[in-house]
Structure 1
Amino acid sequence: MPASEYEKMAAGEWYCCLDDELDRLRQQARRAVHAHNTLPPDERGAVAPALRALFAGAAPDIFIEAPFHCSYGINIVLGERVYFNAGCTILDSGRVTVGDRTMFGPGVQIYCAEHHKDPALRSQGIEIARPVSIGSDVWIGGAAAILGGVTIGDGAIVGAGAVVTRDVPAGTTVVGNPARPMNRL
């Protein structure tokens, strides 16, 4: 029996995102995101309970400013004292793992889905999910974009507006589009 589209997505295989089960999972995420983004701050706290419950894993001391968006939530794992500033988006068709004490500036985007290059298959919703792994003590500057399949090592810095298309070694600062290591002064 063929695997479900969800099972294919989770396995990192090509799958069809135009699937009823995946649509139900995205709808569940929309409800949790809506609760987080619309609750008054004193009721929401650091993260709305519905959003926290959606995540695959979240330390008790994470903080997510509103607005926030994720496509599934069930593929997100957040370590201790992770902080997301306002306007961050995680399109988590693949696993997104964030280490302890990592901070995201406003408007950071993480994109795990890669749509098919063949226009006929792309129009049918065929895509593949690539994981993103971000280490501990990382700073991601505002409006940076991180593409699927990328690993960012511990202590790295991603400059504001950078587009990260390949791995960033631990302790490295990258800037630009595509992101490249900064020249030493």
Structure 2
Amino acid sequence: MKSNLQKMLAGESYDTRDPELLEIYHRARALILAYNTSDTSDRDKRTELLHQLLRKVDSGVWIESPFFCDFGINIEIGENTFINTNCMLLDDNLIRIGKNGLLAPYVQIYTAIHPLKASDRIFQDGETTRFRTSTKPVIIGDNVWIGGNSVILPGVTIGNNVTIGAGSVVTKDIPDDSLAFGNPCRVVKSI
């Protein structure tokens, strides 16, 4: 029988309040708090905290505070990537960001999905209300710039050398060498 962590990573319906997942969540919250309140001039401490929090952090990664994520253990960030202030990475599944990336302030990356129909989404577990959740990974290539206040939805792949305009809601894959923006985000031209 699969654990809820295994179900989560496989994209199957899982219990978000499973004790193992809550333990990982609480560990991440402690590391995020330490990171967000650390002295920004103490690069060694901040780098150490990121290595404890995230699955993979290559050299030259810079993440502005405050930074938020769900678990941390499902996030991979390539070398020289810059993540600006108030970014939210809900990593219920893999979030992979390539090298030389730029994420502007308030970028949000989601991997969790809930059924649309309320009766499929909400269920009772004794006296506790639970919500059915599944996941899809988000993959972002190398040399990608994502403009401020953009939202990347579950299951999206963004290719290499892409620019996403500010305020975009990315609902579908974006091919390499593209300028894309809007709600929903669409490719405007090759670059």
TM-score, L = length of structure 2: 0.91
Q: How does 1:132-151 map to 2 (within 5 A)?
A: 132-151=138-157
Tell me how far apart the structure 2 counterparts of residues 16 and 165 of structure 1 sit (CA, whole Å).
Answer: 25
Corresponding residue number in structure 1 for 2:21: 22
More strand by share: 2
What is the aligned partner in structure 1 of residue 127 from structure 2?
A: none
Distance, in Å, in 2 between the alignment partners of 1:73 and 1:121 is: 28
User: Which segment drifts farther, 113-122 or 157-166?
Assistant: 113-122
Question: Which structure 1 residue ranges, 5 or more long, are not aligned?
Answer: none
For structure 2, the 5+ residue unaligned runs are 123-129
Aligned to 2:125: none
| Counterpart selection for 1:155 from 161, 169, 182 | 161
Superposition pairs of residues 24-63 of structure 1, within 5 angstroms? 24-44=23-43, 47-63=46-62
**Whole-Å separation in 2 of the counterparts to 1:125 and 1:108:** 25
Give the conservation status (yes or no) of the 8 Å contact 1:61–1:80. yes
Asked whether 1:96 is paired with 2:122, we answer no
Moved more, 76-85 or 111-120: 111-120
SS of corresponding position for 1:10: helix
Return the alpha-carbon distance in structure 1 between the equivalents of residues 81 and 43 of structure 2.
Answer: 17
SS for the counterpart of 2:96 is strand
| 2-structure distance, mates of 1:134, 1:46 | 27
Runs of at least 4 residues off by over 6 Å: none
Further displaced range: 117-126 or 41-50: 41-50
Residue 135 (structure 2) aligns with: 129
How far apart are 1:16 and its partner, in Å? 1.4
CA distance in 1, matches of 2:63, 2:100: 13
Question: 1:164 touches 1:179 (CA, 8 Å); kept in 2?
Answer: yes
Residue type at the aligned position of 2:58 = A
Deviations 1:59-116 (A, max 9, x none): 0210000000000000001111011011101000010111110110011000100012
C-alpha RMSD of the superposition: 1.5
Q: Which moved more, 1:39-48 or 1:11-20?
A: 39-48
Percentage of identical aligned residues? 38
Q: TM-score, normalised by structure 1?
A: 0.93
Aligned: 1:165 with 2:164: no
Contact map agreement 2:80 2:99 (CA 8 A) in 1? yes
Report the 3-state secondary structure (helix = DSSP H, G, I; strand = E; otherwise coil) of the residue aligned with 1:69: strand
Q: What is the number of equivalent residue pairs in this alignment?
A: 183
Decide which moves more: 148-157 or 110-119: 110-119
